[in-house]
Chain A
């Protein structure tokens, strides 16, 4: 597509516009996350030359790759946070950003998520949670709600949803938030806060998959999901006053954790600095 047809000025700055329109299905939440992230970068006035996008395999991994300008490492399934760790250690002055899905980040790559949060390495992870493996046609994922029929749970899922954001908060990250694609303004704000935080930051974005997941729950329009998100969402402040039973089936949104633990790479750099000083003396 020719550049003059892309009329978002921020799109020209941050996107590989020749790759548009996106490859996402109509009404896909990945596009809204892309849109919101573009807005977040633009408001923060970040230079695309200072951004490294690291991504995995799945629909939402296509948000940064190929659409965002910036150095991009499109890795194997589940491993973007591990690849990003090597990038961040060697390029601490660049913003290292992981955008990938629930299957990638919470499923196959769940252990990398926990340990990166524990190290509190200065990486921002945006987990686009569409409650299923969408690219492969709609199979149960670690975040699929209990009881839902999917391609691989034809009699209803017997598993419970992983609350990834709560896990990351417990693991030691400096910033954790959850929003949905219905909450675009707070979502953009959370993205900005995550990008500003020094340390591991994690934003879980519940995002609709009206095609692969939608066909199984008979919600075939993006808006069907956005209405559900609106109805089921509970602000974290209110959720803290609620019982587990009351919270069943609810989506807790807001800033779940903010702390100021020492960041991993800066500690490594301090250790090296000590050696430099010893050598100088």
Chain B
């Protein structure tokens, strides 16, 4: 299932520390990690809550580890403060959010895509975030590895924004041979290189190297020491933290597009919803309606270039998603053409027919 694939992806990426707290529909990730980590001399710790889980993985990374945690909506809410800490301290780590129906406890066992905007804006303060959304079990495996690689490349927390549908979906997958997997090494530097400045992505000194590393979530200078009163220090730091991801967005964007000539309607989708959406697109085409298909694999940073391109091609963009319209709002920022959300909540994924009917009605 998708949860297991995320765990194995992490293990293939060299993850050697996992801290978590049980929650449906993400618990299976913790169970696989607890079972498998000792085999590769890694460590699983079940913490007392989700706040401590994300805290522990950040601690483990500064102690030289590669670390991940996994949760779902309520736990994701609890983790928001320390997501900001990981961003501010430039701690590479991976957070899997297997989204379920909210708000609050909602439908605990049912899938949703309700945390898309929380993933973007959940933690306080100016920041940029990387979030990837898989549509299959195989892709969950490969995107988890990608998430680790991006976290190391840009020294930041990366969210694997799965939905419960994919998390609990069972599909056969193929594990690639280890030698075919490329891993991003952690950027290191000489002892005197500042760990918190001097480059868009500074090299990282970790604990135990005798470098007296000073890590703080407060505004800090390039050497990591706190300076919370100088305007320019804060501006330079936060501008760089945002810029290192914003300026690299072209490298981070991952999309799947399937365009055809003469399409007047486009379908923009992501995650589990992409599966019935793809079926609907193929069915509509079979019935004679020209339709474009765009799947966002990276949700954040938002692939605005691809969205603009789609908007230039068609007259209307349909956005099926398992919420009352979250990504559709973001799409509206990049086009003046009609953006029609096809919302479905309540824990049941879209049917092919309902999306197909909308395509034909707008095509």
- A/B: CB atoms within 8 Å of each other: yes
On A, residues with C-beta under 8 Å from B are 16, 48-49, 52, 54, 65-66, 69-76, 79, 82-91, 93-94, 111-112, 114-115, 268, 271-272, 274-276, 279
Known contacts A72-B213, A73-B62, A94-B207: does B45 contact A85 (CB below 8 Å)? yes
CB neighbours (8 Å) of B42 from chain A are: 272
Contacting pair A85 B56 (CB below 8 A)? yes
Q: How many pairs of residues, A versus B, come closer than 8 Å at their CB atoms?
A: 137
Known contacts A71-B212, A94-B208: does B85 contact A87 (CB below 8 Å)? no
Q: Which one of A65, A84, A86, A276 contacts B216 once the chains associate, using CB atoms below 8 Å?
A: A65
B64 at the interface (CB under 8 A from A): yes
The digit string for B202-218, where 1 denotes a CB below 8 A from any CB of A, is 00000110111111111
Contacting pair A71 B213 (CB below 8 A)? yes
* Subset of 26 A-B contacts with CB under 8 Å: A48-B212, A52-B63, A70-B212, A71-B208, A71-B213, A82-B56, A83-B56, A83-B59, A85-B19, A85-B59, A86-B55, A86-B57, A86-B65, A87-B60, A88-B59, A88-B63, A89-B17, A89-B45, A91-B208, A94-B207, A94-B208, A111-B48, A111-B49, A115-B48, A275-B39, A275-B41
How far does the Cβ of B247 sit from chain A's closest Cβ, in whole Å? 28
**Cα-based distance from A62 to B322 in the complex (angstroms):** 46
Contacting pair A90 B60 (CB below 8 A)? yes
Contacting pair B51 A79 (CB below 8 A)? yes
**Cα-based distance from A72 to B48 in the complex (angstroms):** 23
B47 at the interface (CB under 8 A from A): yes
CB neighbours (8 Å) of A86 from chain B are: 17, 19, 45, 55-63, 65, 67
How far does the Cβ of A198 sit from chain B's closest Cβ, in whole Å? 18
Instruction: Give the B interface residue count (CB, 8 A).
Output: 43
How far does the Cβ of A111 sit from chain B's closest Cβ, in whole Å? 5
B362 at the interface (CB under 8 A from A): no
Contacting pair A272 B41 (CB below 8 A)? yes
Known contacts A72-B212, A91-B207, A91-B208: does B41 contact A82 (CB below 8 Å)? no
Contacting pair B43 A82 (CB below 8 A)? no
The digit string for B169-211, where 1 denotes a CB below 8 A from any CB of A, is 0000000000000000000000000000000000000011011
Q: Which one of B57, B85, B214 contacts A76 once the chains associate, using CB atoms below 8 Å?
A: B85
**Cα-based distance from A274 to B215 in the complex (angstroms):** 35
CB neighbours (8 Å) of B127 from chain A are: none
**Cα-based distance from A146 to B82 in the complex (angstroms):** 33
CB neighbours (8 Å) of B225 from chain A are: 66
**Cα-based distance from A54 to B62 in the complex (angstroms):** 11
Question: Apart from A83-B56, A93-B208, what 9 extra A-B contacts exist at CB < 8 Å?
Answer: A72-B214, A75-B217, A79-B52, A84-B59, A88-B63, A91-B208, A112-B55, A272-B38, A272-B42
Contacting pair B63 A90 (CB below 8 A)? yes
**Cα-based distance from A210 to B55 in the complex (angstroms):** 33
Residue of B19, B65, B212 most packed against chain A (CB within 10 A) = B212
Contacting pair A71 B207 (CB below 8 A)? yes
How far does the Cβ of B80 sit from chain A's closest Cβ, in whole Å? 11
- Contacting A at CB under 8 A, from B215-262, are 215-218, 225-226
CB neighbours (8 Å) of A94 from chain B are: 63, 207-208
CB neighbours (8 Å) of B61 from chain A are: 86
Contacting pair B48 A54 (CB below 8 A)? no
Q: Which one of B39, B65, B212 contacts A90 once the chains associate, using CB atoms below 8 Å?
A: B65
Chain A interface helix/strand/loop/mixed: helix
B283 at the interface (CB under 8 A from A): no
CB neighbours (8 Å) of A114 from chain B are: 48
How far does the Cβ of A272 sit from chain B's closest Cβ, in whole Å? 5
The residue of chain A having its C-beta at the shortest distance from the C-beta of B224 within the complex is A72
Q: Which one of B16, B62, B216 contacts A87 once the chains associate, using CB atoms below 8 Å?
A: B62
CB neighbours (8 Å) of B55 from chain A are: 75-76, 79, 82-83, 85-86, 112
CB neighbours (8 Å) of A74 from chain B are: 214-218, 226
How far does the Cβ of A55 sit from chain B's closest Cβ, in whole Å? 9
CB neighbours (8 Å) of A82 from chain B are: 47, 51-53, 55-56, 59
The residue of chain A having its C-beta at the shortest distance from the C-beta of B63 within the complex is A90
CB neighbours (8 Å) of A49 from chain B are: 208, 210, 212
How far does the Cβ of A195 sit from chain B's closest Cβ, in whole Å? 17
Residue of A54, A83, A114, A272 most packed against chain B (CB within 10 A) = A83
B358 at the interface (CB under 8 A from A): no
CB neighbours (8 Å) of B81 from chain A are: 76
**Cα-based distance from A82 to B51 in the complex (angstroms):** 8
The residue of chain A having its C-beta at the shortest distance from the C-beta of B60 within the complex is A86
**Cα-based distance from A72 to B59 in the complex (angstroms):** 10
How far does the Cβ of A67 sit from chain B's closest Cβ, in whole Å? 11
How far does the Cβ of B157 sit from chain A's closest Cβ, in whole Å? 14
CB neighbours (8 Å) of B51 from chain A are: 79, 82
CB neighbours (8 Å) of B62 from chain A are: 71, 73, 86-87
Q: Which one of A66, A85, A268, A274 contacts B214 once the chains associate, using CB atoms below 8 Å?
A: A66
**Cα-based distance from A48 to B211 in the complex (angstroms):** 10
CB neighbours (8 Å) of A69 from chain B are: 212
Residue of B60, B207, B225 most packed against chain A (CB within 10 A) = B207
**Cα-based distance from A93 to B208 in the complex (angstroms):** 9
The residue of chain B having its C-beta at the shortest distance from the C-beta of A268 within the complex is B43
Q: Which one of A16, A73, A90 contacts B64 once the chains associate, using CB atoms below 8 Å?
A: A90
**Cα-based distance from A135 to B125 in the complex (angstroms):** 22
CB neighbours (8 Å) of B67 from chain A are: 86
CB neighbours (8 Å) of B57 from chain A are: 86
**Cα-based distance from A49 to B60 in the complex (angstroms):** 18
CB neighbours (8 Å) of A72 from chain B are: 212-216
CB neighbours (8 Å) of B208 from chain A are: 49, 52, 71, 91, 93-94
CB neighbours (8 Å) of B213 from chain A are: 71-72
CB neighbours (8 Å) of A272 from chain B are: 38, 41-43
Known contacts A86-B63, A87-B63, A89-B17: does B52 contact A112 (CB below 8 Å)? yes
